[in-house]
Structure 1
Amino acid sequence: MEIRGKVHEIGATQQVTESFKKRDLIVAYAENPQFVEYIRFEATQDRVNIFDNLAIGDDIEVSFNLRGRPWTNKEGVTTYFNSLVAWRVTKLANTAPAATAPGMPEMPPVDISSSGADDDDLPF
């Protein structure tokens, strides 16, 4: 699975046990810009370094696996956990249109298809 968003936060590598380490990445996902979602991805073991070349604000695409597992407590109640495990992160080129200079209003599009004359020389 893949998702595109902006880097919001990059966590430090955590040594959970002697043989297990992980690192979190928070991505601001704005499918609807009014309601930005902050999604936590994790990288584990030798993949914790895939977040090294990222900076807050970078536009990225995260490739990840969705994992789920049950956990049963002492009272016998089972709870289910989901994890988004990142295995690749790609920086995206900034493809957004250039912003208007501060103080300059955005100009409306101009229709250049009509010259004002009534003679239409198109064959169709």
Structure 2
Amino acid sequence: MQVSGKIKLINETQTFGASGFRKRELVLTTDEQYPQMLLIEFVQDKVDILDNYQVGQDVTISINLRGREWINPEGVAKYFNSITGWRIEASAAAVPQQGQAPKSFETTSIAQNEEPDDLPF
């Protein structure tokens, strides 16, 4: 699953417990009619991939939705969801720069100085 938008916030890496569990949170503002601010967690070895990104950058993040049950002391079940990121890519890299043709059009017959084929079939 993927989600796209603009990075609003990147928190510092947090380390928990004797095991050294690491977590880093990112807030993404989606590109929708009603933008959503999603808290996305990156854990363990994935926290370091956020070092290459900045607030304000347009990105696409590959995510997993996680859910868990917790039984409180009164015996009532509570449910929690989290969004865990595992890959992030800059959105601008997928768009050709202005004035550049997409690679699939660079080697057409016209580019090789041949006459264009104007037949309709």
Structure 1 length as normaliser, TM-score? 0.71
Q: Which runs of 4+ in 1 moved over 2 A?
A: none
1:46-65 deviation per Cα after TM superposition (whole angstroms, max 9, x unaligned): 11111111111100000011
Q: Which runs of 5+ in 1 are unaligned?
A: 99-124
- CA RMSD of the aligned region, Å? 1.7
What one-letter code is carried by the residue in structure 2 that aligns with 1:4? S
Q: 3-state SS of the aligned residue for 2:52?
A: coil
Residue in 2 that maps onto 1:55: 54
1:31 alignment partner AA: E
Shift in Å, 1:88: 0.2
Tell me what 2:9 maps to: 9
Cα shift at 1:30: 2.5
Structure of larger gyration radius:
1
Tell me, yes or no, if structure 1 residue 79 matches structure 2 residue 51: no
Paired amino acid for 1:8: K
Q: Specify which structure has the higher proportion of helix.
A: 2
Paired AA for residue 64 in structure 2: N
In 1, Cα distance between the equivalents of 2:59 and 2:29? Answer: 10
Structure 1 counterpart of 2:39: 40
Cα shift readout 1:77-121 (whole Å, capped 9, x = no counterpart): 1111111110000011175xx9xxxxxxxxxxxxxxxxxxxxxxx
Distance in structure 1 (CA, Å) of the matches to 2:47 and 2:18: 15
Tell me by how many angstroms 1:18 deviates. 2.2
Identity of aligned residues (%): 41
Q: Which runs of 5+ in 2 are unaligned?
A: 99-121
Deviation at 1:21, TM superposition (A): 1.3
Distance (Å, rounded) in 2 between the aligned partners of 1:88 and 1:75: 39
Q: Which residue of 2 aligns with 1:108?
A: none
Separation in 1 of the partners of 2:56 and 2:38? 14
